[in-house]
Amino acid sequence: MMDPLATLNNLTGIESAVSDARSAVDGAYRHPALRRKGGLVAAEVSLRSAVASASLQTSILYPREDVRSGTVLDAVVQGSLRIHSSLPVLADRWESAPAQVLARLHVLGATGIHESDSLGRPVVPLDRVCGYVVARSGDPLIRAAVVHGEMLALNPFPGVNGLIARAAARLTLIASGFDPRGLVLAEEIHLSREPEYRGSSLAFASGTPDGIRSWLKHCALSATLGAESVASVAEVVTEASQ
C-alpha cells in the first residue's frame, strides 16, 4: 500500500527544511549539559511547552514563573501541565494505541472544563489521524506536522483541542525517535510566531499543495528553532542548579 505522506517530502523546500530540523535536533542532543542535567532540562522544556501551549489555546500570556510557583490556577493551564507531564509515559503507547492516548489527553486537558461524561470522546472520527500514527507514515517530522494540522482542522476536542493537537505532534516526535527525550521547544516558537502558526494551519486545512507546504515549512522551522533553544534552556538550568 502506498504511503499517503511519502510524497509530501517532494513539495518545494520541504526536504531541505526537514533536513535542517534534523540537524538542529542532532546538535541539541550533543549539548554537554544533557549528560548531567538531562532530566532537569527535560522538565524545564515540559513546563515551558505547557505554558506556551496554554497561551496559544486561550490567547492569554501566562507568566511562566507564576505558573512554576503554582499561583496560576487557570483550568487550561492546569490541563496543559497535566498533559505535558504525562507525555513520557503516553509516548510508549502512542504508535500502537493512538485513539486511547488521545482520549486520555482529553481527560487530562479538559477535567474541570468540560462535563465528565464528555471526557475522552472526540466529536468527530479520528481514524485517518490515528492511521498515520499506527502506519508510521512518512518522515517523522512530516507525520507530526500532519497529525498536528489534521487535529487543528478537525477540532475533535472543542475547548482544549489545541492543547491536544500540539501534544499529539510532540508525542509523534518522541515515539518516532526524532526527539526521544522531548527536548524540542516547538510550542514556544509557535507562540512567538503565532500569526504564521494560525495562518499556515488554516492554509493546511484548505488541502491545497501550497497550503500544505506552508504548514510543513512552519512546523519544520519551529522544530529547528525549538531545537536551537535547548542550549539556552540548558544554560538556565545549569545556573539554577549550581
Give pLDDT tens digits along the chain (242 positions): 679 899 999 999 999 999 999 999 999 999 998 988 999 999 999 999 999 999 999 999 999 999 999 999 999 999 999 999 999 999 999 999 999 999 999 999 999 887 777 888 999 999 999 999 999 999 999 999 999 999 999 999 999 999 999 999 999 999 999 999 999 999 999 999 999 999 999 999 999 999 999 999 999 999 999 999 999 999 989 888 76
At residue 19, the pLDDT reads 97
At residue 116, the pLDDT reads 77
Task: Report the alpha-carbon distance of residue 160 to residue 100 in Å, rounded.
Answer: 17
**Residue 114 has what DSSP assignment?**
B
At residue 242, the pLDDT reads 66
Task: Report the alpha-carbon distance of residue 20 to residue 26 in Å, rounded.
Answer: 10
- Residues in Cβ contact with 20 at an 8 Å cutoff, skipping those fewer than 6 apart: 220, 224
At residue 239, the pLDDT reads 84
At residue 1, the pLDDT reads 64
Strand pairing partners for 111? 114
How many CB atoms lie under 10 A from the CB of residue 166?
Answer: 26
| Domains recognised in the chain with CATH numbers | 6-240 (1.10.3290.10)
At residue 113, the pLDDT reads 86
0.75 exceeded by the pTM?
yes
Q: Which of 171, 162, 210, 209 is nearest to 190 (CA)?
A: 162
Task: Report the alpha-carbon distance of residue 94 to residue 241 in Å, rounded.
Answer: 33
Q: Which of 224, 237, 238, 192 is nearest to 28 (CA)?
A: 224
